């Protein structure tokens, strides 16, 4: 138990990158130990444990797609694949002694805020035994991810198909696709990785794609032992590389803006992409692949040899959707009938339905999903706080997704914000309950949506950013760095702050001292003793002690007035 407060504890749901980052900050930056993470999978890593389809990997350089508190000098290449990223997640959890806080194979089914107790009642279910139970916590953190719940696609006759059919995020490794006829539905980032990976062994791969995609070259440099040695022994070099990748990725976001500079840059990148597509893909597919919507409307794809695979004799691209499924295969929207041994649904995720299917009940007795339905989709103050839901923090929440940058940067930024805006005031006894004001949440959300309206995300294409109410609940409209700046210092006027102690500044000093390293604590003590033992200072001590009651009294009077 942390030495801070007997009463204070936290429950985090999800042990993906967001849950891991939250745990690290609480344990190592705040020295706060009273938290548990509940994870429905049988291990940590989130996305990288769920997605094990052939070819699965990162499309952002791994030196940036890694935690700022655990840089990895050993990345094998620029863009690493899923097994290496999952290993890194596991290693991070062990290195920082976080595993003992994680309970796996436990699903959170819901949570209810009790104003009388100032606690969250969290409903949990042991996946192996089916046993349901309850835990209470002062703080509830949702780190359940957003690109994790497969989209619930329904095709007529789907239930008739009598061979294996699975989503990319539920890949069935017991099914051998060697020499088989495989259908892949969809052409997003997942499909672009699956098609070339399985085409090497499958008998035939037919891909159903309703629209085009912007593809870009994806050079993938393999790091030499010398480079890894330099990263290991010259960490500054690695930090610099990370900064360069971050700034370059952020700069590319300019292409998504409606400004003249943005439009010019976008046209140039679109031209480059067209050239790239024409240089590799078979000519017969050009008109289907090259999009009519602006770059960025759908998430752009860094080509993992997908276009090259379209040249193979065993790969066919059908630019159509699905009319129906039969016992033996698929009838395309124009009536083309094909038989398959396996159908792969690369049909994406339910991104806009944040926190589902958990049933979260707030201070007014209403469910979060109902509140969000009534305001046209998910919204949260700076993606993190929701009115009526006190002491709740959402990580990777609504409108926090960086256009073009690392999700891990966004997640870490949000974790830092939740620590500043929620955990520190609670630990310091500055408040016992903190809730964002509806006016602040609405104001911030409206400003974001006003900016988003003129970005490429609102272009003429189907994408996973836009929810059922036509609002983009996913994207942050600006640079990744602007989200970081926006969340750097909490604006306390945005919150209703209830309870707490008038002595909170003392608790803050206590926390600050506790959070110092042991060496700094010793040096500080030596410094204080040295200063106090100076004759001039020693002379002042009795008068300071004499005046202390008056100072405390006036502080008390001010506090009562406030």
Site residues for ligand FAD per CB under 6 A: 13-19, 38-41, 46-47, 51, 56, 58-60, 65, 107-108, 143-145, 147-148, 190, 358, 396, 406-407, 411
Q: How many CA atoms lie within 13 A of 502 on its CB side?
A: 11
Among ligand NAP, ligand FAD, none, residue 187 binds (CB under 5-8 Å by kind): ligand NAP
Among ligand FAD, ligand NAP, none, residue 145 binds (CB under 5-8 Å by kind): ligand FAD
Residue 324, phi then psi, degrees to nearest 5: -160, 165
Stretch that binds ligand NAP, among 14-22, 97-105, 185-193, 473-481 (CB under 6 A): 185-193
**Would you count residue 295 as binding ligand NAP (CB under 6 A)?**
no
* Member of 187, 400, 421, 455 binding ligand NAP (CB under 6 A): 187
Considering just the CA atoms, what is the radius of gyration of the chain in Å? 26
Cα(99)–Cα(23) distance, integer angstroms? 10
Closer residue to ligand FAD in complex, CB, 109/552: 109
Shortest distance (Å) from residue 406 CB to ligand NAP: 11
Mark residue 499 as left, alpha or beta (left: phi above 0; alpha: psi -120 to 50; beta: remaining): left
Closer residue to ligand NAP in complex, CB, 185/431: 185
**Would you count residue 193 as binding ligand NAP (CB under 6 A)?**
yes
Burial of 241 (0-12, 13-18, 19+ CB in 10 A): middle
Among ligand NAP, ligand FAD, none, residue 186 binds (CB under 5-8 Å by kind): ligand NAP
* Binders of ligand NAP in range 524-543 (CB under 6 A): none
Q: Contacts by 201-205 with C-beta closer than 8 Å and gap 24+?
A: 201/177, 202/177, 202/178, 202/314, 203/179, 203/314, 204/180, 204/314, 204/315, 204/316, 205/314, 205/315, 205/316
Closer residue to ligand NAP in complex, CB, 186/362: 186
Closer residue to ligand NAP in complex, CB, 216/508: 216
Helices (H) and strands (E) in the chain, counts: 17, 21
Which residues are paired to 215 by β-bridges?
Answer: 301
Shortest distance (Å) from residue 522 CB to ligand FAD: 37
Among ligand NAP, ligand FAD, none, residue 47 binds (CB under 5-8 Å by kind): ligand FAD
Per-residue tokens: 161: 């198909």
Among ligand FAD, ligand NAP, none, residue 65 binds (CB under 5-8 Å by kind): ligand FAD
**Would you count residue 211 as binding ligand NAP (CB under 6 A)?**
yes
* Binders of ligand NAP in range 114-173 (CB under 6 A): 147, 153, 168
Across 178-191, b (16+ Cβ under 10 Å) vs e yields eebbbbbbbbbbbb
**Would you count residue 462 as binding ligand NAP (CB under 6 A)?**
yes
């Amino acid at each position: 138990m942390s030495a801070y407060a007997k009463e204070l504890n936290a429950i985090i749901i999800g042990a993906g990158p967001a849950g891991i980052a939250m745990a690290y900050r609480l344990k190592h930056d705040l020295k706060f130990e009273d938290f548990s993470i509940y994870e429905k999978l049988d291990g940590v890593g989130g996305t990288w444990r769920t997605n094990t389809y052939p070819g699965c990997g990162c499309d952002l350089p791994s030196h940036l797609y890694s935690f700022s508190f655990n840089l990895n000098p050993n990345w094998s290449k620029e863009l690493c694949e899923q097994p290496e990223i999952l290993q890194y997640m596991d290693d991070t959890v062990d290195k920082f002694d976080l595993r003992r806080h994680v309970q796996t194979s436990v699903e959170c089914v819901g949570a209810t805020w009790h104003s009388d107790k100032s606690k969250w009642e969290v409903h949990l279910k042991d996946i192996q035994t089916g046993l349901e139970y309850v835990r209470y916590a002062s703080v509830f953190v949702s780190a359940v991810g957003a690109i994790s719940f497969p989209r619930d696609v329904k095709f007529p006759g789907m239930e008739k198909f009598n061979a294996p059919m699975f989503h990319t995020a539920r890949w069935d490794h017991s099914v051998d696709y060697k020499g088989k006829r495989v259908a892949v539905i969809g052409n997003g980032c997942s499909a672009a990785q699956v098609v070339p990976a399985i085409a090497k062994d499958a008998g035939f791969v037919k891909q159903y794609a309703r629209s085009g995609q912007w593809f870009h070259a994806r050079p993938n440099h393999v790091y030499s032992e010398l480079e890894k040695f330099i990263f290991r022994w010259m960490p500054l070099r690695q930090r610099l590389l990370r900064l360069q990748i971050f700034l370059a990725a952020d700069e590319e976001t300019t292409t998504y803006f409606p400004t003249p500079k943005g439009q010019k840059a976008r046209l140039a990148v679109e031209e480059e992409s067209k050239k790239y597509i024409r240089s590799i893909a078979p000519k017969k597919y050009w008109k289907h692949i090259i999009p009519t919507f602006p770059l960025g409307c759908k998430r752009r794809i860094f080509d993992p040899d997908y276009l090259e695979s379209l040249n193979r004799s065993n790969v066919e691209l059908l630019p159509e959707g699905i009319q129906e499924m039969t016992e033996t295969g698929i009838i395309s929207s124009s009536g083309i009938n094909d038989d398959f041994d396996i159908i792969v649904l690369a049909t994406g995720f339910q991104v806009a339905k944040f926190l589902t299917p958990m049933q979260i009940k707030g201070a007014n007795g209403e469910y979060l999903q109902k509140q969000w339905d009534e305001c046209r989709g998910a919204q949260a103050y700076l993606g993190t706080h929701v009115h009526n839901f006190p002491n709740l923090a959402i990580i990777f929440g609504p409108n926090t997704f960086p256009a073009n940058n690392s999700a891990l940067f966004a997640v870490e930024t949000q974790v830092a914000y939740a620590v500043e805006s929620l955990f520190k005031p609670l630990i310091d006894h500055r408040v016992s309950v903190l809730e964002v004001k509806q006016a602040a949440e609405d104001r911030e959300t409206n400003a974001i949506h006003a900016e988003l309206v003129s970005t490429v995300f609102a272009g003429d294409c189907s994408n996973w950013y836009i929810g059922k109410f036509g609002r983009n609940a996913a994207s942050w409209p600006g640079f990744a760095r602007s989200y970081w700046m926006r969340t750097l210092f909490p604006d306390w006027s945005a919150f209703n702050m209830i309870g707490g102690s008038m002595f909170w500044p003392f608790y803050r000093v206590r926390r600050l001292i506790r959070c110092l390293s042991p060496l700094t604590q010793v040096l500080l003590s030596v410094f204080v003793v040295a200063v106090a033992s100076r004759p001039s200072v020693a002379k002042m001590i009795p008068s300071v002690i004499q005046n202390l009651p008056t100072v405390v009294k006036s502080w008390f009077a001010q506090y009562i007035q406030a």
